[in-house]
Amino acid sequence: MTGPILVLKVAANTLKYYVFDIETKDPLAHGRVRGIGKPDAGEIWHETASPQIHLSDQNIPDIEAALTIALRMIADQGIQLTSLQAVTHRIIHGADRYSKAKFVDDEVIKTITELTPLAPAHNPAALAGIRAAEKCLPGVPQVAVFDTAFFAKLPAAVAKYALPRELSDRLHLRKFGFHGPTHRYVAERVSLLTGRHELKQIIVYLGRWSSISAVDSGHPIEVSTGFTPIEGLPMRTASGSIDPGIHRYVMEQTGMSIAEFDRLLQEESGILGLTGLPTMTEVWAAADAGDERAQLAIGICVHRIVSSIAAFHVVLGGAQAISFTGTAGEQDHRLRKAVCDRLACLGVELNEAINEKTHSTVRSRIISTTHSTIPVFVIQQREAFAIAHETAILLGWKHPIAAAAD
């Protein structure tokens, strides 16, 4: 029996919720609650009502209160809460403990708790979401989908850092990889579109957070993110990889604390730190106007993306597909062109007219020419659906990716 799945993404002060019928393309209901725990500062958006609902200046003391509001909005839209087949929680960190979705039980809760030091801002919020769902939806199965699960079985030579083994084992120091549901979903979509399961592909996820993965026949063999999501590409506000020696030097020279430097890396660096501008749209406009900082930021981003793709191409022994996804990956046709122009040496050739259709309603499209040695795709991210999809597999339903076809 199939039916609706409720997907929850919980952060310290925010709840995002989605209800999916796995056979359909779009959520039956979705919305978000912000300002949780801030007296009279809460805001609610229920985006699938007609008209959309927006409430401000609300008192939402905790996650349970936020979920209660969300469930009321869902029910008011005509969706029977008794029809929910599962409540699925996005869990940022499962380390290398899980390689697929798991039903929430005492062992899973214990693991999420134990891994809190690896994700102190996220795992406790997820646990609060699980406790809230237990109270608000008793008897409905709960499922955990881990951001790290897709990369849990990376080859040891890829996952391990060159650090003392005892220290690495004791403190779980390894490459975990992040944004797993999206990378898994895109890999399966491209395999479906090409009709090839044994496909060597590179997935380029560009957004507020960014990552690149190399996937061979559905199995990841490399990823740019590491022990934390900061490793790898520069992002909207995060630095990406830097020389570890910078940490000590900056803290000694400025008196910054570890927490202050960590905030610098995550919230004050990347595109924002290089340009002072919060979005790529503004960066492109500034670059067009001759702003050298904006031009440099674009150059850095393109260089790092191209370098990662080239390295992963070799790791794969020759990529057979490249896909762009994420907000910037889907919408920034100029960034895609700048990257693909640098990949001409690999035989990549864009169909520029198709590439420039930034706001295409098509969920998946090929943007390379028929002469391109490596086909290039744009795949709509659909993270919440990807999480629901993993839940459907766990529930034993038929493979649902095909249901999301264009």
* CA-based max dimension of the chain: 62
Q: 52 with 29: CB under 8 angstroms?
A: no
Give the integer Cα–Cα distance in Å for 378 and 106: 40
Catalytic residue among 147, 243, 288, 406: 147
CA–CA dist 324, 206 (Å, integer): 7
Tokens 């040891």 sit at which residue?
156
Which of 196-224 are b and which e, b meaning 16 or more Cβ less than 10 Å from the residue's Cβ?
eeebbbbbbbbbebbbbbbbbeeebbbbb
Task: Using alpha carbons, list the distances in angstroms from residue 7 to 27, 194, 378.
Answer: 10, 29, 24
Q: Check if the beta carbon of residue 237 is closer than 8 Å to that of residue 273.
A: yes
How many angstroms separate the first and last alpha carbons of the chain? 24
Degrees to nearest 5, angle at CA 214 with 183 and 389: 20
**E strand or H helix that includes residue 76:** helix 63-76
Helices (H), 82-164: 106-114, 123-136, 156-159
Contacts for 149 with CB less than 8 Å, ≥ 6 apart:
94, 98, 99, 100, 101, 180
Active site residue 40: no
CA pair distance 125, 116, nearest whole angstrom: 10
Spatial distance between the Cα atoms of 145 and 378, rounded to a whole number of angstroms: 24
d(CA 380, CA 324): 8
Q: For residue 69, give the 3-state DSSP assignment.
A: helix
Q: How far apart are CA 106 and CA 63, in angstroms?
A: 20
Residue positions annotated with a catalytic role? 147
